[in-house]
Structure formats: structure tokens, C-alpha cells
Amino acid sequence: MERVKVGDIRLAIGSEGDGDPVLLLHGFPELAYSWRHQLPALAGAGYRAIAPDLRGYGASDRPTGVGAYGVATLVGDIVGLIDALGYDRVHLVGHDWGGGLAWATAALHPGRVRSLVIANAPHPVASAEARRDDPSQRAKSWYMLLFQFVGVAESWLSDDDFRHLREMVFENAAPGTFTQQDVGVYLDAFARDGALTAALNYYRANMPAAAWLRPPPQLPDITTPTMVIWGEADAYLGLGLLDRSVAKVAGPVRVERLGGVSHWVQQEAPDAVNALLIDWFAAAA
């Protein structure tokens, strides 16, 4: 991976291939490594596939303080990275938290996003609305409140050899999704000083407990051509979030539902996801 200067931090990126740029944003608790199946497939199809470790993750800089992880700052990182790489526009792909940032980037900076692909990630406004008025989704989102407790959440995830993190990620996917080598890559990254706190600060900066009680800030409708890929067996995100999110798209939209696939969609069903991505980008050319 190389490190790229973006504003006042450096982001580590992995990339493969040449051609039109595809920027892939990972979620929590993940890394650029989450796109290990997509980078070579997209490169082979004639694209430059680029996957950063987001701010605070992996080999990227890890600022201290909750305030360094607000959505406006995180979106600024994405636009800044596009600039630093020398591109006007990219195909933007995001999963989980990376999907939330991709939604926000496309809403606020539509001229920088050639096409948008979302994988199991609700639109930020749809997510906030569901936490307020959908009891089923509120129950699925219980961990977001736990993550507000500084020190407690870090210990809960990391104690007993990361038992709860293992349950949330590796044991929540279909058998065979993650090899022991894969598990080692993730756990080694989150065992580093400050790594779990930085990742949890995404929730603390943007989803504090008080935010569950007030109407969410609004975003402009999405006008960028958008494809949403959704694993239907997601334990954390109900299908109602898919419908709410699609309703935020005013431009062309395509929805692909993958039956029996968990939240970790691009790692659990890489062949299906890769085929959808390549087909989508070819149509968006």
C-alpha cells in the first residue's frame, strides 16, 4: 500500500489496474483488505480499482479525539483523495460505513461521482429515521448505543481474544467467508494502539445517543446513477432500510438483492458482487 497526503492526514491506499477509477470504501470494523476480491477482478476488467484504509483505520493516520471523525470531515477525505489522485470523477463504491460516506459524498458532491454503488449500507438519513420510528431496526441497532461508552466498548470488542468482534463479523458470515489468514489481518490491525477507539469514534461523532431523539439533518436527493446491492440475510440492517434508502434517490436506480447473503456481502459473495460491478460500470461508461 502507498500513503497519499489528503489535507492534514495521510491515507493508505491499495490499488490495482489501469483505466477509469473505481474508489471502494470499507466499513466497520474493516479495512481496505475488505475489497481483496474486488481489486483484481476490476483491474482485470480494465479499471483502476483503489481501496483506502479510511481515516483512523489500518495504515492510515489515526487522529485523536471524537471531533476528528465527523461526517463532514470524512466526506472531505473522500473528495480530497479524489483530488490527490488526480481525478475529476470516480465510480464510488461503499459498504457499511463506507457506504454511508459514499451516499453523503454523492449527495453533497454529485459532480465528483460518475456512478454510485452501495453494498448493504443505508442512506444516512434513512438510517436515522428508522432508528427513531422503526422498532425492529432500533433493536438491530443496539450496538450503536453500546459503542458510545468510551473504554467499555473497546473492552467489549477486544476482551477474550476479540470474542465479540469475532461474533459480530467472522461468525456472522457464511462458513468459509473468512479464512484464518483473513481473521489474522483484521485482528492484527485492531490490536494496534488506538485502532478500536478511532473506529468507534465514527459512531460517537455522528450517532450520539441524543441524536436518536431528534430529527436527522437532511441531505440533497441522490441524482447520480445508483446501484444498491443488498444481502438479504443481514443481521444488522433490515430490508426496510433498503426501501427507505432507495426512496432518497431521484436519479436512475437499480436494486440487486442477494438472497441468503449476510451483511459482509462483497466478501461472502464476491463472484456475484464482482459481476454486478463490472456490468454496472460498463453500462455507465
The single-letter code of the amino acid at 76 is: G
- Of 35, 146, 140, nearest to 98 by C-alpha is 35
Q: Specify the pairing of strand 9-16 against strand 2-6.
A: antiparallel
First to last CA, the chain: 28
Contact between residue 93 and residue 22 where contact means Cβ atoms under 8 Å apart: yes
In degrees to the nearest 10, what's the CA dihedral of 253, 254, 260, 264? Answer: -60
* Active site positions, annotated: 96, 203, 263
Neighbours of 21 (CB within 10 A): 22
**Residue 135's Cα: distance from chain center in Å?**
24
* CA separation for the pair 105, 88 (Å, rounded): 14
Contact between residue 157 and residue 196 where contact means Cβ atoms under 8 Å apart: yes
